Structure 1
Amino acid sequence: MPVPAHTPAPDLYRRGLRLLLDKDIDSWVGLWAEDGVMEFPFAPEGRPRRLEGREAVAAYMRHYPDHIDLHDIPELRIHETTDPATVVVEMRAVGRLVRTGAPYDMTYVAVVTVEGGRFTSYRDYWNPLVLQSPGAEFAGEAR
């Protein structure tokens, strides 16, 4: 279902989370502007720090459900800013790592900008320390 161009940033973000929980990666990627940028400022060495364009985001997320079985977002706070197109999100996602069955429990802070009902900028400040836990070779790699 197409997203109206006037969709507020908090609503678009919530829709995106629902799609991730439903493992509908194609529809999640469809929420991105053609020239949208996703950044991971805390990514450790060897991990992507910047993805430019919807196609790069799609390639990064393509195999997400094969690695992380996301079950729930038990904590979610969306803070609106003085710019109605930008929100700051605090959240926690839980599930399991598919390959090992190990629990997945990640906290995030994201700064997200939306224009025309599409993500144009998404800075994802995920916790790289989770990568140090056993079985976490993909954790933080894609959300």
Structure 2
Amino acid sequence: MSAPTAPAELFRRSLRLLLDKDIPGWVALWAEDGVMEFPFAPDGWPGRLEGREAVAAYMAHYPDHIDLHDFPDLRIHQTTEPGTIVVEMRGTGRLVESDRPFDMTYIAVVTVRNGHITSYRDYWNPLAVLDAGTDFTRSNR
């Protein structure tokens, strides 16, 4: 089976990989020079990850902190910019450390070129995760 190249198809595949806790597979969807940004990152947290290796290091222990179960309410919007989509979604599951429910709303602006993610701006609220009793982002710095 060939790798998905359409941005919406690639994004759906990325969500399936996250649900399967296949972080190496998820990272493989990234371009070598891909950039992940967190515009709402608080002080002391990464606001920008440059390159596939930095993204891999950041995500390496994600399943140890957040056990994702589903991405309900997924809406993928096409844009006039070729290769760029805007995604609205919820991620649900549980926080591993506290066993508390995890329910986060996300908006992401994702650009795909040549079948790989080149840019991912993740507009999520990291303070909500801290309030829920996990230290996910800090442990992944």
Q: TM-score normalised by the shorter chain: which range applies?
A: over 0.9
CA contact (8 A) 2:65 2:134 kept: no
Partner of 1:14: 12
Greater shift in the superposed pair: 128-137 or 75-84: 128-137
CA contact (8 A) 1:130 1:136 kept: no
Partner of 2:131: 133
3-state DSSP class of the match of 1:60? helix
Deviations 1:22-78 (A, max 9, x none): 000000000000000000000111111000000000000000011100000111100
3-state DSSP class of the match of 2:74? strand
Q: CA RMSD in A?
A: 1.8
Distance 1:76 1:140 in 2: 27
Question: How many percent of aligned residue pairs carry the same amino acid?
Answer: 69
- The TM-score with structure 2 as length reference comes to 0.92
Partner of 2:28: 30
Q: Which runs of 5+ in 2 are unaligned?
A: none
3-state DSSP class of the match of 1:57? helix
Q: How many residues align?
A: 140
Q: How does 1:17-96 map to 2 (within 5 A)?
A: 17-96=15-94
Runs of 4+ aligned structure 1 residues displaced above 3 Å come to 139-142
1:104 aligns with 2:111: no
CA contact (8 A) 1:131 1:140 kept: no
Distance 1:75 1:139 in 2: 24
